[in-house]
């Protein structure tokens, strides 16, 4: 349900028509819509396994996915984002890739949701999750906002899938482990191996590949990140041909924010003033509307 939708009914129908033209195995399929006065509804295919977050952030009673399953899911997500960027009729910048927006069908095939809805929902009612947001959204001196922002978000998501924990953990036993990407890069650089609890030697090869690809995706400067098509190629390829990525940094001044979320009106005003909205007019901005 879209409460307090922007524009008139025709705007809603026009935007739904854009979303409805997307067809990909890893993109949630829009089945229909309803309009009754100010109430607007979108109808999607049902995803019985819910969102990805409940499977990668282990809780009591939750299903424990194998690393082979997580690896397959990561490739599916990457293919879906690549399609939104380059494969569909209207290029779409999702702008809010995170575990909650990845839904799983009965066979655990991932479907990207909550895209293409920015024009239908007021900005002030949205919450953008900073943990997955690309730094160029807030800092104009490292590059303009483009589809590489989704690459960054996917990298943060991929890192959490590989480690089965949140990237930012204030309850970590050691201070060096509070921000996982820094800690894991330090391990790779020093000994070339990764120490993660409850990961078998057989699974470690998958984990290491996912982490190395993730580290490429979360490079500070957008130009240093691969495209999503390249990310798919890297994930599907042999780990031996992957080069060691440069050390990750979060912000130009090396200041790490501990806040997980912020109101999107503040984020978007920063984004518009710092990067220039005109730089991404070929993309539809999509925000989480839950």
Q: Count how many Cα atoms sit within 13 Å of the Cα of residue 171 in the half-sphere of its side chain.
A: 2
Q: Where are the alpha helices (DSSP H) in the chain?
A: 9-20, 53-56, 67-82, 148-163, 180-191, 201-217, 228-236, 264-275
Give just the sign of the alpha carbon dihedral 36, 40, 262, 258: positive
| Distance, C-alpha 123 to centroid of its chain | 19
CB 40 within 8 A of CB 155: no
DSSP assignment of 39-86, as one string?
A: EEEEEE---TT-BTHHHHS--TT-----HHHHHHHHHHHHHHHHIIII
Q: In angstroms, rounded to a whole number, what is the distance separating the alpha carbons of residues 218 and 260?
A: 17
Q: Which two tokens stand for residue 61?
A: 């009673």
Give just the sign of the alpha carbon dihedral 141, 143, 145, 148: negative
CB atoms within 10 A of CB 33: 17
Strand 284-285 relative to strand 92-93, pairing: parallel
Active site residues: 96
Q: Which residues contact 269 (CB under 8 A, 6 or more apart)?
A: none
């Amino acid at each position: 349900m879209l409460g307090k939708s922007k524009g008139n009914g025709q705007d809603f129908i026009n935007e739904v028509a854009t979303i409805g033209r997307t067809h990909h195995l890893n993109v949630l399929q829009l089945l229909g819509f309803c309009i009754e006065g100010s109430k607007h509804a979108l109808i999607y295919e049902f995803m019985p396994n819910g969102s990805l977050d409940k499977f990668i952030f282990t809780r009591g009673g939750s299903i424990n996915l194998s690393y082979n399953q997580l690896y397959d899911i990561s490739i599916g997500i990457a293919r879906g984002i690549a399609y939104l960027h380059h494969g569909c009729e209207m290029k779409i910048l999702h702008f809010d890739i995170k575990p909650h927006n990845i839904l799983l069908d009965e066979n655990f095939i991932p479907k990207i949701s909550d895209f293409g809805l920015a024009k239908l929902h007021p900005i002030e009612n949205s919450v953008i999750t900073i943990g997955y947001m690309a730094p160029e959204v807030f800092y104009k001196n490292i590059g303009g906002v483009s589809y590489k922002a989704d690459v960054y978000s996917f990298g943060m998501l991929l890192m959490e899938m590989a480690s089965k924990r949140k990237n930012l953990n204030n309850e970590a036993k050691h201070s060096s482990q509070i921000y996982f990407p820094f800690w894991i890069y330090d391990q790779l650089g020093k000994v070339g191996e990764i120490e993660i609890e409850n990961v078998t030697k057989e699974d470690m090869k998958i984990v290491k590949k996912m982490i190395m690809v993730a580290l490429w995706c979360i490079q500070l400067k957008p130009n240093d990140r691969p495209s999503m098509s390249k990310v798919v190629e890297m994930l599907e390829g042999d780990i031996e041909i992957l080069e060691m990525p440069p050390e990750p940094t979060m912000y130009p001044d090396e200041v790490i924010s501990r806040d997980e979320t912020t109101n999107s009106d503040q984020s978007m005003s920063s984004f518009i003033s710092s990067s220039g909205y005109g730089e991404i007019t070929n993309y539809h901005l999509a925000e989480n509307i839950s």
